[in-house]
Chains A and B, each alone.
Chain A
Amino acid sequence: DADVTQTPRNRITKTGKRIMLECSQTKGHDRMYWYRQDPGLGLRLIYYSFDVKDINKGEISDGYSVSRQAQAKFSLSLESAIPNQTALYFCATSEPQGKLFFGSGTQLSVL
């Protein structure tokens, strides 16, 4: 089984819909992250959490929200999806020394 599991793997939705991307991990790491990948822009940080009670905005948090339900679970929500949120989304955990472990990603398309 994968250490970092993302669901769903693919999602097509319509403008204005609320959607949730889920992430769970078995690494036992406290630190969890949500990144967005766009061609030519690399990986950009949306939100990060260092423990259940700690939530921090990243560089592109507008239009997104997160919930850290447990040490192992970190979900990303788009309250009202828009087409420019079409992207590949990654959840990741990290060791205290900074090494990141990524899930396999969720390809989101907003029509």
Chain B
Amino acid sequence: QQQVKQSPQSLIVQKGGISIINCAYENTAFDYFPWYQQFPGKGPALLIAIRPDVSEKKEGRFTISFNKSAKQFSLHIMDSQPGDSATYFCAALSGGYQKVTFGTGTKLQVIP
């Protein structure tokens, strides 16, 4: 059962463009939504995270938009750079933060 659905599976964006990755969840008990970034040959690393009491969180060129009523959240990468080329995973946790449920991942390629 896929509790967090992520799209698209892959994405190609021109340098300077906006990359958008979308996720949807089903479990209303989720209350923490992180995004992880994974470079080839490396493990995922936390990029940015949001709690459902806010609709947006921005850190540099990375922004999470959160729509609680629609049970959707998205990652926006502004002014995308070739160094942003990586696989991105959305995730969700519920109270106690014991287990993380991951989306299926999006492979982003930013071309010059």
Contacts and interface: CB of A to CB of B under 8 A. Distances in A.
Contact of A42 (B46, B97, B98, B102): B102
Q: Would you call the interface of chain A mostly helix, strand, loop, or mixed?
A: strand
Contacts of B97: 94, 96-98
A45 interface: yes
Given A42-B89, A50-B98, A98-B97, A90 B43 contact: yes
Interface residues of B, number: 22
A53 interface: no
A94 B41 CA distance: 21
Interface stretch (A14-22, A67-75, A77-85, A101-109): A101-109
A48 B99 contact: yes
Interface residues of A, number: 23
B43 A104 contact: yes
Contact of A100 (B6, B100, B103): B100
A92 interface: yes
B104 interface: yes
B22 to A, nearest CB: 15
B44 A102 contact: yes
B105 A42 contact: yes
Given A90-B43, A98-B32, A100-B46, 16 more contacts: A4-B43, A40-B104, A43-B105, A45-B99, A45-B100, A48-B99, A50-B98, A58-B99, A94-B97, A94-B100, A97-B97, A98-B97, A99-B34, A100-B36, A102-B45, A105-B43
21 contacts: A40-B9, A40-B104, A42-B89, A42-B103, A42-B104, A42-B105, A43-B102, A43-B105, A45-B99, A45-B100, A48-B98, A92-B43, A94-B100, A98-B32, A98-B97, A98-B100, A99-B34, A99-B46, A100-B36, A100-B46, A100-B100
